[in-house]
Amino acid sequence: LPVTQANTVIKAGHVLDFESGKWQKDQLIFIENERISQITSATAKIPDNATVIDLQDQYLLPGFMDMHTHMMGPLANDFFAGLFQSPHRSVIGGVVNAEKTLMAGFTSVRELGSADYMDVALRNSIADGEVAGPRIFASGPSLGITGGHCDDNSLNQSYELKADGVADGPWEVRKMVRKNIKYGVDVIKFCATGGVFSKGTKVGMRQYTLEEMQAIVDEAHTHGKIVAAHAHGTEGILFAIKAGVDSVEHASFLDAETIALAKEKGTYLSMDIYNTEYTLSKGEENGVPEENLNKERQVGAIQRASFTAAVKAGVNMVLGSDAGIYPHGDNAKQFARMVRFGMTPLQAIQASTINAATLLKQQENLGSVTKGKFADLVAVSADPLKNIEVLESVSFVMKNGQVYKR
């Protein structure tokens, strides 16, 4: 853990202007406690008592934000490990994974779906400065229908296994939202369709009814919480957007209607287009069952084509990688895929910074190198607008004004 420093000044050679995509040359970034207090030209006077960090030969960006992670859980790549492991063990995995994520330059994450409020516990421990990790926006257990993607269908009925967030019908889902809020979540997640990594669900098939989705969104928004919906199939995506969710996760089978509606309503899409490569190359070796590998084959290429179409249409996009499917700390690999499938490097960076901050309603605090915001900063040694892959190896990480990597 870093030592607390009250006053820091960064000598920055290049600072990204998040709107124009221009590099501001030779700036001084003044940091007081956890926030950026001033940004000046390099000729301004540096106070004698300040700690100076020289990043004149680096490119400085706002800390990255991954809007879809699963940091809790096993350290091994064994597909079934989670089934045999206690929540206590999983949260220790979370501590290790959180540090890897932060060291990769991700200073904020949205943790989407965590049994036993493990994510809330880890969020609080990180915020109290006990362990190193990104700021966590935690969802607690994902809501889902009985037998759906957000249930746990791996054991037979005599075990009576069910996931924490299972709720059916408008009043049960409202109660589950209230319970999650009671135990401290920041956001609500629900499963609108089947998924790749669950047993016995179909990726294309809707799960909650429109009425249930509307109940979830109404209850969450009434309490000031944003909502993320897992949805691959078109009808599930459509109903989720109609119900008023803030983001759709995966969004694999988009069509003209869902793209137009997302655009009209300002819905964010959080499309995990890196992990398909990992699953198709390493999944079998990690013990992923054929049922799930087969579903990945159904989703991967279509999802990337949908991504291209959504970018082209100008839909709001964030970076959401579903870290945990692939090893933690590799989150930045998604940047290059976002560029390969249609974004400019600047758009990919914006998706992971200012757009994510706006989705979280944290644009006053996060998402750009701006006076008054939290000093969450990363640096790389080359211009990422020319070579996006340089974001996979950050040379410097600061969160809350504290240096974690240098």
Closest contact distance (angstroms) between CB of 102 and ligand ARG is 22
Task: Name the amino acid, one letter, at 95.
Answer: V
DSSP 166: B
Q: Which is nearer to ligand ARG, 195 or 329 (CB)?
A: 195
- What number of other Cβ atoms are within 10 A of residue 373's Cβ? 20
Interhelix angle 170-182/210-222, nearest 10 degrees: 30
Taking CB under 6 A as the rule, does residue 303 contact ligand ARG?
A: yes
Angle at 298 between CA 204 and CA 232, to 5 degrees: 35
Closest contact distance (angstroms) between CB of 198 and ligand ARG is 6
Q: Which of 151, 272, 376, 392 binds ligand ARG (CB under 6 A)?
A: 272
Among the listed residues 135, 291, 288, 261, the one whose alpha carbon sits nearest the alpha carbon of residue 231: 261
Taking CB under 6 A as the rule, does residue 322 contact ligand ARG?
A: yes
Taking residues 34 to 63 in sequence order and writing x for each that binds ligand ARG by CB under 6 A, - otherwise, the string is ------------------------------
Q: Binding segment for ligand ARG among 6-14, 94-102, 138-146, 271-279 (CB under 6 A)?
A: 271-279
Q: Report the length, in residues, of the chain.
A: 406
Q: Which is nearer to ligand ARG, 93 or 283 (CB)?
A: 283
Q: Which of 105, 134, 233, 300 binds ligand ARG (CB under 6 A)?
A: 300
Taking residues 273 to 292 in sequence order and writing x for each that binds ligand ARG by CB under 6 A, - otherwise, the string is --xx----------------
DSSP 105: T
- What number of other Cβ atoms are within 10 A of residue 190's Cβ? 34
- Facing residues of 381 across strands? none
Applying CB under 6 A, the site for ligand ARG has a residue count of 13
Q: Are the beta carbons of 153 and 199 closer than 8 angstroms?
A: yes
Q: Across the beta sheet with 377-380, what order do the strands follow?
A: 35-41, 23-32, 7-16, 51-62, 377-380, 396-399, 402-405
Taking residues 174 to 213 in sequence order and writing x for each that binds ligand ARG by CB under 6 A, - otherwise, the string is ---------------------xxx----------------
Q: Which is nearer to ligand ARG, 267 or 276 (CB)?
A: 276
Stretch (H or E) spanning 38: strand 35-41
Q: Which of 110, 225, 250, 333 binds ligand ARG (CB under 6 A)?
A: 250
Q: Which is nearer to ligand ARG, 325 or 388 (CB)?
A: 325
Helices (H), 149-268: 170-182, 210-222, 234-243, 256-265
What CA–CA distance (Å, rounded) separates 70 from 142? 12
Closest contact distance (angstroms) between CB of 184 and ligand ARG is 23
Q: Binding segment for ligand ARG among 42-50, 126-134, 297-305, 390-398 (CB under 6 A)?
A: 297-305
Closest contact distance (angstroms) between CB of 290 and ligand ARG is 15
Q: Which is nearer to ligand ARG, 276 or 316 (CB)?
A: 276
DSSP 169: S
Taking CB under 6 A as the rule, does residue 234 contact ligand ARG?
A: no
Closest contact distance (angstroms) between CB of 267 and ligand ARG is 18
Which residues, including other chains, have CB under 8 Å from residue 312's CB and lie 6 or more apart?
342
Structural tokens at position 259: 């793209």
Please give the residue ranges that form the binding site for ligand ARG (CB under 6 A).
195-197, 250, 272, 275-276, 296, 299-300, 303, 322, 325
